[in-house]
Amino acid sequence: MQAPFGFVTGCHAGDKFMVQATLASMRHYSPDVPVCLVVDGEFDVSDLVKEYDLRVLRVSELPAQQMRTLITGNGRAKLAAMWEGPFEYYVWLDSDAIVWGDFTPQVNAEVDFQIFWSEISIPPDALEVPGWLTHFYFDPQKLRRFDAKFEWRGNAYFSSGAFACKRNVIPFERWMEGESWGKKTPGLFGDFSEQPLLNYFVHSMSQRGEIRIGMSNLQHIWSHHGKEELMRDSLGAGWHFPTKIRRPRVAHFCGRKPLLFDSKAFSRPFTIARLEHHRRRRSNLGAWLTIMSEEARVLVGKVKGRFSRYFDQMGEYELS
């Protein structure tokens, strides 16, 4: 039996150190909301289960082989919550997103899918297809082969890193049909995992009257909205969660990941959430040292990856 409402996030082994921040923010600002963690891979999360009283949904334990094949090892793992999750209605957050203030009063369970975005991306009278639509989402000209009535203009195209929806809002069989279109037609969907197809289904099903959707300004992407508002929220709080958030929402750090060693990334709010997690078991100094250790491992991994690619290319050059 499913619970009526909850938060869901997820991780694979490589971003477990990030999802800890997501979980810490959920518990801090919305302590009474139950949380489910989608786990993609066979690694231990018992420490997180104990710390945050989580429900765990492992991709490897999903009942249908076809479903496991589709979502294992990629961003579609989040869809496990839609088809097999424990909540009738849930808010999804990627592992590079955090709860920034208690926004749950703004979650509208009366709609089937709530888009955490409020901007109409393409005017209803647009004549040309913008390049970003085909890059991040889909090619509307190619899509006409499968859905001639779909209107690509006048929609709020959203990042799938944060949204709210009813369980099974897009049935698995329906989703697989869309996946088959992409296999038949190269370039139909952008190479952004589940995001292109999710946007298509949400807007097309709404246009046909199959689902009700809502739009809310609940996702802050700093590379789009700027970082000034997040910085104002943090004034006077130091490296702790602010007591008062003027506009509660999700802070999503997509693109450049919110790591301290990346000087081009904006990481302060996410680092605050990471510290919050580690302070639950360590001193403030211990929390900072743990973060430094996590970042060192990430940096070493990046260096190893670059060297590996370099030597692979050198080997190919010598063979040619």
Domain boundaries along the sequence of the chain: 3-119+156-169+211-221, 292-320
DSSP code of residue 59: G
**Which of 186, 182, 130 lies closest to 155 in space, CA to CA?**
130
Q: Using 50, 70 and 90 to split pLDDT, how confident is the model at 312?
A: low
Can you give the pLDDT at residue 316?
59
Burial of 31 (0-12, 13-18, 19+ CB in 10 A): exposed
- pLDDT digit string, tens, across residues 251-262: 999 999 999 999
**Which of 92, 112, 86 lies closest to 2 in space, CA to CA?**
86
Strand partners of residue 57: 38
Can you give the pLDDT at residue 269?
98
What would the mean pLDDT of 122-129 be, rounded to a whole number? 96
What would the mean pLDDT of 182-197 be, rounded to a whole number? 96
- pLDDT digit string, tens, across residues 154-183: 999 999 999 999 999 999 999 999 999 999
Percent of the chain with pLDDT over 70: 94
The CATH homologous superfamily to which domain 3-119+156-169+211-221 belongs is Spore Coat Polysaccharide Biosynthesis Protein SpsA; Chain A (3.90.550.10)
Average pLDDT of every residue of the chain = 95
